[in-house]
Amino acid sequence: MNDNFLRACRGEKTDYTPVWLMRQAGRYLPEYQEIRAKYDFMTLCKTPELAAEVTLQPVRRLNVDAAILFSDILIPLEPMGIKIEFPEKGGPVLTSPEDMNQFKEINPEKDLPFVMETIKILLKELDIPLIGFSGAPFTLLTYIVEQGSSKNFLKTKKFMYGESKQFHKLMELLSDTVIGFLSAQIKAGAQAVQLFDTWAGILTPRDFKEYVLPHVKKIIGPLKGNVPVIYFVLNGGTFLEYIKESGADVIGIDWRIDIGMAIDRLKDGVAVQGNLDPCELFLPEEKLFERITDIIKKGMRSSIRGHIFNLGHGILPETPVEKARFLVDSVHEISARLRK
Ligand code: CP3
């Protein structure tokens, strides 16, 4: 088993800088498009053989150092009593019961058995670690309150400021859901987990600290020590110090902050994951190679516990597959050479 990814998470020596790509399974891959033409997205997520196959596609193509379970952050909301649709165009659409008190507590093994079955299939196939994941409670809450994606998240902020008791109550319910869901994935065999907090970066640092951080700490606390926990906040560069307080083993960063500056601010005790702009994959190879080298060199600074190379957010559907492969090969080649 190639365990460079897990070793980097734990701050142990690695042969090279491990790399995987957020959203590495998906529409930029022709073999994904082929399966997707036959099944809708939810069917893919809920059919273990299909979800496992789609998880493996980028592993075969790209030679990445970790696989991420194919699913979606919104999947555990369905058994809570929320209707979720993924229309062919535009973002997801959610319909929730009027009364928040009607949300149900979920039992992951009973309500989402297909996720654990997918993990079990994958463990037999993979010789790299499998990452499980969940949406973080605030990001899940925004999808519930906004009934989908949003521009300025006014409904979420009105709810947070105007009905803060109810807000925290929903955050608590979602946190319990996340703890149960991630624990079930770990029990099934996931070797690391990532919490995606795509929308926490819309908050002021003060509001992140007051409304989000206590809940995330409560989730990470019991999971830590089990498997490495990665916490990724899109747009979180302005309050990295607070993000570090979450207790995560690895902090994911987007491309809006220089990774060297992020490392200086994170200080010791955590590893860092990131941070190439997904659009940089559209640079000519020579220029891209320079950017990759710069990130790797900064990631090798001794003040940080470890570095996992990744994009700063999901790979774009328009990305040429060869460019993604070039990225992974370059990370391996450059970082192995720099270690000599
Ligand atoms: O390869 C992987 O990374 C694993 C699978 C994965 C998906 N979604 C598959 C997916 C993961 C980890 C996610 C996380 C996710 N989903 C996030 C957090 C990360 C991020 O990107 O910020 C969020 C916010 C979602 C919610 C979501 N799912 C949206 C807004 C959309 C529509 C927009 C889009 O990108 O298509 C989805 C759909 C989705 N999730 C697709 C995939 C492959 C596209 C579905 C399709 O084939 O049409």
Look at residue 100 in the predicted model and tell me its pLDDT. Answer: 87
Catalytic-labelled residue, pool 10, 61, 72, 277: 72
> For ligand 1, what atom is nearest to the CA of residue 58?
1
Look at residue 39 in the predicted model and tell me its pLDDT. Answer: 97
Question: CB under 8 Å, gap of 24 or more: what pairs does 265-269 form?
Answer: 265/240, 265/241, 266/240, 266/241, 266/304, 267/303, 268/303, 268/304, 268/305, 269/244, 269/305
**CA 26 / ligand 1 centre spacing (Å):** 8
Q: Decide: 112 and 187 in contact? Cβ < 8 Å.
A: no
Each residue's pLDDT tens digit, 227-257: 999 999 999 999 999 999 999 999 999 999 9
Residue 264 annotated to the active site: no
| Residue among 54, 73, 316 whose CB has most ligand 1 atoms within 8 A, to mutate | 73
Look at residue 130 in the predicted model and tell me its pLDDT. Answer: 98
In this model, does residue 189 exceed pLDDT 90? yes
Residue 60 annotated to the active site: no
Domain 4-339, CATH 3.20.20.210 — does that match?
Answer: yes
pTM of the model: 0.97
Pairing of strands 93-95, 67-68: unpaired
Residue 143 annotated to the active site: yes
Measure the CA–CA gap between 94 and 73, rounded to whole angstroms.
13
CA distances from 260 to 133, 164, 319 (A): 27, 37, 26
Packed helices 113-125 and 164-188: angle between N→C axes, nearest 10 degrees: 40
In this model, does residue 142 exceed pLDDT 90? yes
CA distances from 79 to 61, 74, 167, 178, 204 (A): 34, 10, 20, 13, 32
Each residue's pLDDT tens digit, 319-335: 999 999 999 999 999 99
Residues with CB under 6 A from ligand 1: 22-27, 36, 41, 68, 70-74, 86, 91-92, 133, 149, 196, 198, 234, 314
In this model, does residue 83 exceed pLDDT 90? yes
Percent of the chain with pLDDT over 70: 100
Look at residue 98 in the predicted model and tell me its pLDDT. Answer: 86
Each residue's pLDDT tens digit, 289-315: 999 999 999 999 999 999 999 999 999
> For ligand 1, what atom is nearest to the CA of residue 71?
5
Name the residue at shortest CA distance from atom 17 of ligand 1: 73
Q: Decide: 260 and 223 in contact? Cβ < 8 Å.
A: no
In this model, does residue 219 exceed pLDDT 90? yes
Measure the CA–CA gap between 258 and 237, rounded to whole angstroms.
9
Q: Where are the domains of the chain?
A: 4-339
